[in-house]
Amino acid sequence: MDNNNLEQITFGGGCFWCVESCFNMLKGVQSAVSGYSGGHKDHPTYQEVCTGETGHAEVVQITYDPAIISYEQLMDVFFFLHDPTQLNRQGNDIGTQYRSVIYYKDNPEKAKAEEAIKTSQASGRWTGTYVTEVTQFDKFWPAEQYHQGYYNENPTQPYCSAVVGPKIQKFKKHFGELGMLNAE
């Protein structure tokens, strides 16, 4: 990877444990870090974000090499990993902290995010109207250390084995067949 040309994208697609572990498997992704964006409190804690009162979403900030993986490919993965038609929830995870959101840094990136939503919606992968927010990026607060790589460290934890694990297996099958995953 060319560290001089790395870019970042931040988005939320439900519980960050599901999203972060998958993005870290992709070729061209240097890191995927779980955290919080979109709220009104500096340095929020997981407990505070879980109340829904800070306004933050659980997000993943991805650092990637666009010469290896494109913004559009990352968006395809993003829309594969969560249901963008569910408002403020993903499955049994309910609250604004689980909203579908793409944070953009400038107008060209905003246009790319809006185009990615149109492309995904036209694909028919999900039925219903997309509710994914496209919001100006402000700040990213990394989540507590124990959230980083959570699934890899806790695969038998009940939520991980029931929700995260099956999602990862579906992801690995689909994107592995496309040759987009790092060798294990």
The predicted-structure confidence for 57-96, as pLDDT tens digits, reads as follows 999 999 999 999 999 999 999 999 999 999 999 988 999 9
Residue 184 domain-assigned?
no
Looking at residue 125, its pLDDT comes to: 93
Residue 40 domain-assigned?
yes
The predicted-structure confidence for 95-148, as pLDDT tens digits, reads as follows 999 999 999 999 999 999 999 999 999 999 999 999 999 999 999 999 999 999
| Host domain of residue 171 | 7-178
User: Which CATH number does the domain housing residue 33 bear?
Assistant: 3.30.1060.10
Residue 2 domain-assigned?
no
> How many domains does one find in the chain?
1
Residue 106 domain-assigned?
yes
Report the 10 Å Cβ neighbour count for 34.
24
Contact 132, 88 (CB under 8 A): no
Residue 148 domain-assigned?
yes
Residue 183 domain-assigned?
no
Q: What is the pTM of this model?
A: 0.95
What are the start-end ranges of the E strands in 65-181? 89-90, 93-94, 100-104, 133-136, 140-142
Contact 100, 86 (CB under 8 A): yes
Looking at residue 1, its pLDDT comes to: 67
Is 22 catalytic? The answer is no
